[in-house]
Structure 1
Amino acid sequence: MELNTFFNTLSEAIEVSLSYLTSPNRRTYFVYLLSSFILAYYVYYKSKNKGDFLKFLFPKNIWLGKSAFVDYAMVMFNSVFKVLFIGPYLILGLYIAFYTNEFLLEKFGYATFNLNKTETIIYYTITLTIVGDFFTYLTHLLMHKVPFLWEFHKVHHSATELNPFTQYRIHPIELLINNAKSLLVFGVLTGIFDYLSNHQINKLVFLGVNVFGFLFMFLGANLRHSHIKLTYPSFIEKLLISPFQHQIHHSNSPEHFDKNMGSKLAIWDWMFGTLILSKSTKKIEFGIEDKHNEFTSFLGNIVSPFINIFNSIKKYLLFLSSH
């Protein structure tokens, strides 16, 4: 029985790993990779690069380097982690939606007006995009500003070369936090719109890919983690984070620390003073400080955050005991 459980878990983990290429909910869905390929050619053409396009797009040091293999290993490891620790709890989002709806019914009674199906889908999509993006920004901000959380987020920033799978170079603890945030936002908003629509929409419809998410991923989201410097006009970069703006976020230059932390929208960075436009930056290098070489291996990325946190607590306790 235990052997069957092991093979079932392994099979599910493989399915999750493959879904990164086959599911339209994933940024690295093959359709989005194809559209990114086309946009990369646009950047290549505009740069007047005279070299071979495929060599421009697939340099060995980026796709077959040590940093890349850590990315690939993290994808596989986190696939198993999701099957074991996240997948069984995704239904919590629907429970949150149910209890949010029940709370509104108890507090206000039936809504005095109801949104029709079309209105529900349109308003829900817009609201989920804006509110979800705002909470993603806040979570990301906390990851950078709170030392405990930064130790885990440091894993993502430890990549010295970026490729589309660097998106999934995330420590399992951060993965839990991100999923908890997403479930909470999804659950509360779904419950509110379920209440406002008088339950006209099947809950499964709310789980679909919305049009803004599709456009975001189709229009080059994969190039955010890459060496392809796709920029937008400055007036657009004040509204939407361009791929190169996110690359600036990964820069190891102190002037770029804690900048461009938005996911899709740049307005939060503009509001909180963390926005940098592409035109202000020419050349960047990725990674974190050299002294953090413990993050260069897969095992180091998994274990080092716990070791660093333990050492910090130990150091703090020793400080307290000596004063």
Structure 2
Amino acid sequence: MDPSQLEGLPRLVFDVALALFKPLFAFNQYDSFLYWPFLVAALVLAVLVFLLHRDDGARNFFQRYFSRAIWGHVSAKADYKFYYVNGVLFPVIFAPLILSGAWLSTQINGGLSAIFGDSPGHAAGVGTMALYTVVFFLAYDFGRYLAHFVQHRFDILWHFHKVHHSAEVLTPFTSFRVHPIDLILMASFPAATTGVVDGLFDYWSGGTASNYLFFGLHAFVFVYNLIGNLRHTHVWLSYGPVFSRIFVSPAQHQIHHSVEERHWGRNIGFALAIWDRMFGTLYVPAEHEQFAMGLGDGTEGRYHGVIGMYWQPFRELFGPKGGSHGL
């Protein structure tokens, strides 16, 4: 039976069941970091990194990257629980609060039509689509940078972003250790920047332009996601002194999670390091650095439970004023 034909109680039961089971099947969802090709790619890269750096004394791949000290840590266990609970609740309760990029695009298109007249209707050829794909990704990445920047810059937002930074160990599930307020912000900023780009290209092409996609995802986002999971692991993968000024490596993002004050507020970028260079937040490690992860103030334990992750930020809103992390 087609679920769209269900009504009343059967439809409600179906929707509830879907919400409860969807987080358990993220490995088969192309828009999730846990999509199986992304996990396989991350595993292959981790093996390569391990083989290339065996001179540091490591002998067992699984003991190094899959130890109980990491995956069985209280912080990691909190990640697993929050991943599921927030995965069920967020789409239903909070997702409607995200700015709609499609709505903004329509407003931009309509505004341009009102000012300049009907769309020129230029047919979107290969060149236009390639340009659209690149500009869209730049806009998306810049939106992610801006969202992350304000999360660190302003106390009221940092309280919510601390949920993510309270992780003391990193696993792919740490990507989902994000307070709903944080998620709304992280999604709305790039929705705004890409919505503007969509509106401009829609007007120019009469709605014929589109991004190049791969497996249903923006081509560049798909490529990024192939290595994106290593950001939230203990696999030290650096791009070296040159490429680390263009792209944010997994090692650079791990530094972003460091408890050491010299690392605070560094490597804010999502995929591209160019924004960090422009705004003075770039940190390129000269060698493999060792550091603990977390908030650095001993309060991480307050966030190692689902209830704490949801409510601790609100408690701190009315507590003593504290500086934001590094900005």
**TM range, smaller chain:** 0.7 to 0.9
Alignment-derived partner of residue 319 in structure 1: none
Aligned positions, number: 313
Alignment-derived partner of residue 48 in structure 2: 42
Distance in 2 separating the partners of 1:272 and 1:294: 32
Alignment-derived partner of residue 268 in structure 1: 275
Alignment-derived partner of residue 277 in structure 1: 284
Structure 1 residue 13: Cα displacement: 2.1
Structure 1 residue 277: Cα displacement: 0.9
Question: Which consecutive residues of structure 1, in runs of 5 or more, have no partner in the other structure?
Answer: 316-323
Runs of 4+ in 1 over 4 A off after TM superposition: 1-6, 86-91, 201-208
Q: Does 1:159 align with 2:179?
A: no
Distance in 2 separating the partners of 1:159 and 1:75: 13
Q: Does 1:298 align with 2:306?
A: yes
Q: Does 1:146 align with 2:159?
A: no
- Alignment CA distance shift 1:303-1:88 (3 Å): closer
Distance in 2 separating the partners of 1:89 and 1:16: 20
Deviates more, 1:205-214 or 1:139-148: 205-214
8 A contact 2:141–2:270 mirrored in 1: yes
Q: Deviations over 1:34-85 (max 9, x none)?
A: 0111110111111115522222231112112211111112211222223213
Distance in 2 separating the partners of 1:263 and 1:52: 31
Deviates more, 1:233-242 or 1:111-120: 111-120
- Alignment CA distance shift 1:208-1:182 (3 Å): farther
Q: Does 1:254 align with 2:236?
A: no
Q: Deviations over 1:173-230 (max 9, x none)?
A: 1111122223323332222211111122479979941221111111x21110001101
After superposition, the CA RMSD in angstroms is 2.7
Q: Deviations over 1:219-244 (max 9, x none)?
A: x2111000110111210000001000
Distance in 2 separating the partners of 1:203 and 1:232: 27
Matched residue SS, 2:175: helix
Question: Which consecutive residues of structure 2, in runs of 5 or more, have no partner in the other structure?
Answer: 1-6, 323-327
Q: Deviations over 1:75-133 (max 9, x none)?
A: 11222223213455679332222222111111111344725243342122111111111
Distance in 2 separating the partners of 1:198 and 1:205: 20
TM-score, normalization by structure 1 = 0.88
Distance in 1 separating the partners of 2:22 and 2:215: 17
Q: Trace 1:1-323 onto structure 2 (pairs within 5 A).
A: 7-48=13-54, 49-88=57-96, 92-112=100-120, 114-201=122-209, 208-218=216-226, 220-279=227-286, 282-288=289-295, 289-312=297-320
8 A contact 1:96–1:187 mirrored in 2: yes
What is the identity percentage for the equivalent residue pairs of Structure 1 and Structure 2?
31
Which amino acid is 1:105 matched to?
S
Structure 1 residue 156: Cα displacement: 0.2
Structure 1 residue 2: Cα displacement: 9.2
- Alignment CA distance shift 1:198-1:246 (3 Å): same
- Alignment CA distance shift 1:279-1:10 (3 Å): farther
